[in-house]
Amino acid sequence: MVVNQQPNEPVIFDKKPIVIELEPGTYHWCSSGLSSNQPFCNGAHKGTGFKPIAFEITEKKRVALCACKHTGKAPFCDGSHHNL
């Protein structure tokens, strides 16, 4: 689900987090909401003011990644989608 965006605002991909189990490694979270590979960056932000957020997972674990793109704890969900 993609919600229309205001200028300089990220696209709201979804109003709930993407819960996923990740292996150890470095990941790049999409901050623009434009990636077709949500919640990860695919370069679709090029030409915008948005940049991906790199984060590292040190051990296999289940995480809740923000899909509304309004979290204050990027890339992780902080419940901000409840206020959209």
* pLDDT digit string, tens, across residues 56-81: 999 999 999 999 999 999 999 999 99
Q: Is residue 2 domain-resident?
A: no
9-20: pLDDT as tens digits: 999 999 999 999
Q: Is residue 36 domain-resident?
A: yes
Q: Is residue 28 domain-resident?
A: yes
Both structure tokens of 67: 């899909």
**Cα–Cα distance, 4 to 73 (Å, whole number):** 23
The pLDDT score that the predictor gives to residue 55 is 98
- The residue range of the domain holding 43 is 18-58+65-83
Q: Is residue 74 domain-resident?
A: yes
* Cβ atoms within 10 Å of 43's Cβ, excluding its own: 11
18-58: pLDDT as tens digits: 999 999 999 999 999 999 999 999 999 999 999 999 999 99
Both structure tokens of 42: 């695919």
The pLDDT score that the predictor gives to residue 8 is 81
Q: Is residue 45 domain-resident?
A: yes
**Cα–Cα distance, 38 to 45 (Å, whole number):** 12
Total number of domains in the chain: 1
Please state whether beta strands 18-22 and 61-65 pair in parallel, antiparallel, or not at all (unpaired): antiparallel
Residues paired with 22 in a beta bridge = 61
pTM over 0.85: yes
Q: Is residue 13 domain-resident?
A: no
Q: Is residue 3 domain-resident?
A: no
Q: Is residue 10 domain-resident?
A: no
Q: Which residues contact 45 (CB under 8 A, 6 or more apart)?
A: 30, 31, 32, 34, 35, 51, 52
